[in-house]
Chain A
Amino acid sequence: MSLVTVERIKLFSTRSPWWCMVLALVLADGFVTLGFIFAPDDTVWRPADAVSTYQFGLMVMMVMATLAVTTEYRFGTIRTSFLSVPKRIPILLSKALVAATLSAVVGLVAAFGALGLGTVLVSDADLALTTGAEWRAVLGVALVYFLAALIAIAIGTLIRQSAGAIAVVICWPLLIEGIGQTIPKVGDFLADWGPFNRASWFILGNQGTTDGTADASDAVMSPTWSLIYFAAWAIGLLVISLVVAKKRDA
C-alpha cells in the first residue's frame, strides 16, 4: 500500500497529469458535444452513441501513462525508484495500478459527462441506462481506459524512451488497427483480432444499432469475450515488461 502512495506522490507532484486529465475530458466530451449540436435533428442518440468518442480521451490517458514511466528513465529517477525498491516489480506494478486507476476515473467521468451533456443539449435523446448493454457501454469505457493504461505502462517500460513509446502507443490503435483496416485481407484480420478493435466492440457492440457503430463483428467474439481478449493483451504485455525491467540493467 505504501508503494501506491509513492506512485501517487510522484504522479501528482508534477503538472502534466493534471493537464492530461483535463485534455482527455475536453477531447472525449468535446467531440461528442459537437455531434449533439450539429447532427441532424432526427439523429437517434443512445448511450453507446454518446460515449463513442471515448478514443480521443483514451489516447491522451495512454500518453500520460506512458510518460509516467518514460520520464523516470529520462530523468534517472527510475534508478532512485529501484534503489528504494530493489525488487523492482512491486514499484512498477504500483505505478501501473495508479496510472490505470486514474485513467479509469477519467474514463468514467468522460462517459457520464457525455450522457449528461447529451441530456442537456438534445431534447429528445434517449440516454437513460436501462439495459445491460447500455450499462456496459458506459461503465465499459472506464474498464477499457484502465486496461489501455496498463498497455501504455508496459510499452513505456519496454521502450523506456518517451518519443518512441508514445509513437507506438498512438500508432498502434489509430494507424495499425484503424487505418490498417483499409488494407485488403490484412484489414479484416485487424478488425477481428486487433485488441483495440475488440475493446471498441466491447463498449459499442451489440447495442441494437443499425448504423455500424463498431467495425468488429460478433462472429469472432462476443463483447464479453472481447473484453477478456483485450485484458489478456494488457496483462500479458505488462507481465513481459515487468520481467524485462527486472532483468535489465537500469
Chain B
Amino acid sequence: MIEATGLTKRYGSTVAVDNLSFEVKPGKVTGFLGPNGAGKSTTMRMILGLDTPTSGDVRIDGQHYRDLKQPLSKVGALLDAKWVHPNRSARAHLAWMAASNKLPKGRVDEVLDAVGLTAVAGKRAGAYSLGMSQRLGIAGALLGDPEILLFDEPVNGLDPEGIVWIRKFMHRLADEGRTVFVSSHLLSEMALTAEELVVIGRGRLISQTSTKNFVNNASGSSIKVRSPQLDQLQSVLQQGNLMTRIEDVEDEGKVLFVDGEVTTDAIGETAAAQGIVLHELTLQRGSLEAAFMQMTGDSVQYHAHDTQQAPPVPAVELVVAAEEKN
C-alpha cells in the first residue's frame, strides 16, 4: 500500500505537484494517469525518496522509502529504462544491484530469464534497443522479488509487440498478488491494464476511482437503434421519460439515439413488448481520449495555442534599431 498525503513539490515558483493525496491499494494494478507534465514522474520520484517533497508525505506500508532496510526486496521500480551505463553488460548491471541488497547471485540469472534477456546478458547495455532496455529495467525492478512495483510510462516508445508484452507482464504481476503502480498519459492503455486509476492534472488530483467508473462517468454514452418502426418506438420510449432524438445518418438512413441512464436490455425488452422490429441496438461510447481531454483539459500545462503573445523580436533587429538611433 502506497499512501500520499498532501504531497507537494515546488521548483522555485513552479508547482510540479500540488497537495496530492491518494492511495495505491495492495494486490491491484493502479494506473497513474495524467497528461505530459502533470507531475507523474515527480510524484514517483518522491515515493521512491529520490526527490524530497516540499511538504506532505508519502509512505510505503507506513514507512518512508528512505527508511527501508533492503528496499529492492520491498519495492521494485522502473522509472527510466536508459538508466544503465552503456558500456556495462546487463548481467554486471544486475549483479551490482543484487549485491547492494544482499540478494543471492542466482537471482540475476532468474530475472534475466524471466524477461527473456539471457542470450544477450553479456552484451553492453548501450547496444540494446529500447524494448530490450525496457526489459532490463523490468528485470532490475523484479530483482528483489518485491511486493510493490512502480513503472513510469513503461510502454512509451515501444513497438506493438513490446507493448503487448509489457501489458501481459503487468497482469501477471498483479495475478501474483503484487501491487503495481504504473503511470501513463494514455487512457486507452490504462483502460486495458489498470483496475484502479489515480488521475492528476497540473499536479492536482482529478479523481481516484476504478477504471470502469472513470470510463463510464467520463465518456457520455448513448444507444443507437435502427428500426423500420422508429416513430412508434420513439413515442413509446418518450412515454417512459427517456431522452430520444432521431437523426439522419449517412448510408444508414434514420437512426434513433437514446441518451442517459438506460441499458440496451431495457430498450430491447420495451421494443419486444410492443412487437417492434429492431435492426440494430448498440451501446455507443464516446472515445476515451475525448473523455480524458475533457477531464484534464483545464489542467494541461502547455497548450499549443494558449496565449496570444506577440512574437519575440529577434535580437538582430534590436541591434539595428539601436544603431539607427545613433
Residues on A lying within 8 angstroms of B by beta carbon are 2-3, 5-7, 9-10, 13-16, 71-72, 75-77, 79-87, 91, 247, 249-250
Contacts and interface: CB of A to CB of B under 8 A. Distances in A.
Interface of B: 45, 48-52, 65-68, 71-72, 77, 79-80, 82-89, 92-93, 95-97, 99-102, 140
Contacts of B95: 9, 13
Q: Which 8 A-B pairs have the closest CB atoms?
A: A76-B83, A13-B92, A84-B100, A9-B96, A249-B51, A86-B66, A14-B87, A250-B50
Contacts of B45: 249-250
**Best-surrounded residue of B72, B82, B84, B97 (most CB of chain A within 10 A):** B97
A216 B92 CA distance: 46
Nearest to B11: A249
Nearest to B83: A76
Contacts of B48: 83, 86
A87 B66 contact: yes
A58 B102 CA distance: 34
Nearest to A72: B85
A83 B88 contact: no
Nearest to A14: B87
Contacts of A79: 50, 79-80, 83
Contacts, number: 85
A77 B99 CA distance: 15
A83 B44 CA distance: 12
Nearest to B77: A83
A80 B97 contact: yes
A91 B97 CA distance: 12
B47 to A, nearest CB: 11
20 contacts: A2-B99, A2-B102, A9-B96, A13-B89, A13-B93, A13-B95, A14-B85, A75-B82, A76-B84, A77-B83, A80-B97, A80-B140, A82-B49, A84-B97, A84-B100, A86-B48, A86-B65, A249-B50, A249-B51, A250-B51
A234 B140 CA distance: 34
A75 B84 CA distance: 6
Contacts of B65: 86
Contacts of A3: 99-100
Contact of B50 (A7, A15, A83): A83
A9 B99 contact: yes
A86 B68 contact: yes
B100 A77 contact: no
A6 B100 contact: yes
A144 B83 CA distance: 34
A85 to B, nearest CB: 6
Contacts of B85: 10, 13-14, 71-72, 75, 77
A9 B105 CA distance: 13
A2 B96 CA distance: 9
**Best-surrounded residue of B66, B67, B71, B100 (most CB of chain A within 10 A):** B100
A12 to B, nearest CB: 9
Contacts of A5: 96, 99
A6 B88 contact: no
A18 to B, nearest CB: 11
Contacts of A80: 83, 97, 140
A77 B50 contact: no
